């Protein structure tokens, strides 16, 4: 069975990350499926809004660490980068519902969503430095732009997590809800947009975002080059191996 569940109804296409035993961490095949789903949603006229969500207890634990070791992205056409290209340029409204941990790409993808709703159990983190790698998804541009430089440095240089309330305060999250109510609320918000004149909605999103796109794409591709390189270096190898072995990494001298 697929780790991405797809449900379309009433103009809303809902993608649910569903790999609970590995905390919805993302494999290459999940990135490929997501990229395809985004592409189909873009082309399909009946789809007016796209929703991305996890479960009530976890949104996404970031890239699958086992895959980072066994099958790391090597080139710009790797599935993770194909997904990010599709995400960044997605022209229709995209709404995220986030409960529990949102790690790495689980947080950085949210900066590309139009609306983000969080359960009160949501915890956001971008621990790239803890893994010996660097930001992705143009987060090195978007995190300081949205959160302010010093909060961005706390999140990206220290790799410190932040809770739903902090995400609301900085404007990454639109509203916080009890986790049990989140999915239904997100569907109601999506339905409100789906009921509006589509040309007007699409034109509005285009006007909001199109001018930012070239800069985001350039930064995302630059980050990707460094990420691919850093994954080959000793610090990342040690950090990823340490996660697999459920121990603390040793970065002395690295």
Q: Which residues bind ligand COA (CB under 6 A)?
A: 22-23, 25, 61-66, 101, 103-104, 127, 131
Q: How far is it, in rounded angstroms, from Cα 139 to Cα 134?
A: 10
Q: What are phi and psi of 158, to 5 degrees?
A: -90, -20
Q: How far is it, in rounded angstroms, from Cα 177 to Cα 185?
A: 8
- Please identify, using beta-carbon distances, which residue of 69 and 202 lies nearer to ligand COA: 69
In this structure, the strands spanning 101-103 and 4-9 are: unpaired
Side-chain-side CA neighbours of 103 within 13 Å: the count stands at: 19
Q: C-beta of 133: minimal distance to ligand COA in Å? A: 7
- Please identify, using beta-carbon distances, which residue of 22 and 209 lies nearer to ligand COA: 22
- Please identify, using beta-carbon distances, which residue of 66 and 226 lies nearer to ligand COA: 66
Q: What are phi and psi of 156, to 5 degrees?
A: -100, -30
Q: C-beta of 69: minimal distance to ligand COA in Å? A: 10
- Please identify, using beta-carbon distances, which residue of 86 and 131 lies nearer to ligand COA: 131
Q: C-beta of 50: minimal distance to ligand COA in Å? A: 23
Residue 78 is classified by DSSP as: S
Q: How far is it, in rounded angstroms, from Cα 139 to Cα 104?
A: 10
- Please identify, using beta-carbon distances, which residue of 93 and 104 lies nearer to ligand COA: 104
Q: C-beta of 28: minimal distance to ligand COA in Å? A: 12
CB 120, CB 177: distance < 8 Å: yes
Q: C-beta of 44: minimal distance to ligand COA in Å? A: 31
Residue 211 is classified by DSSP as: G
């Amino acid at each position: 069975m697929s780790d991405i569940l797809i449900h379309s109804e009433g103009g809303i296409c809902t993608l649910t990350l569903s790999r609970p035993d590995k905390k919805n961490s993302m494999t290459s095949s999940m990135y490929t499926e997501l990229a395809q789903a985004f592409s189909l949603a873009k082309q399909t006229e009946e789809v007016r809004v796209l929703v991305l969500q996890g479960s009530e207890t976890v949104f996404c634990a970031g890239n699958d660490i086992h895959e980072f070791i066994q099958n790391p992205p090597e080139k710009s056409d790797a599935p993770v980068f194909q997904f990010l290209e599709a995400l960044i340029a997605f022209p229709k409204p995209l709404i995220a519902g986030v409960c529990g941990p949102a790690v790495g790409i689980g947080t950085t993808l949210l900066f590309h969503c139009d609306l983000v709703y969080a359960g009160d159990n949501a915890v956001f983190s971008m621990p790239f430095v803890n893994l010996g790698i660097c930001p992705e998804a143009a987060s090195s541009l978007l995190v300081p732009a949205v959160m302010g430089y010093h909060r961005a440095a706390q999140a990206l240089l220290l790799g410190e997590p932040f809770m739903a309330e902090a995400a609301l305060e900085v404007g990454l999250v639109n509203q916080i809800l009890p986790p049990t109510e989140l999915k239904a609320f997100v569907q109601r918000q999506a339905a409100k947009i789906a009921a509006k004149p589509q040309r007007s909605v699409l034109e509005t999103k285009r006007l909001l975002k199109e001018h930012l796109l070239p800069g985001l794409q350039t930064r995302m591709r630059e980050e990707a080059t460094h990420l691919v390189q850093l994954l080959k270096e000793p610090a990342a190898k040690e950090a990823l191996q340490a996660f697999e072995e459920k121990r603390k990494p040793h970065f002395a001298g690295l």
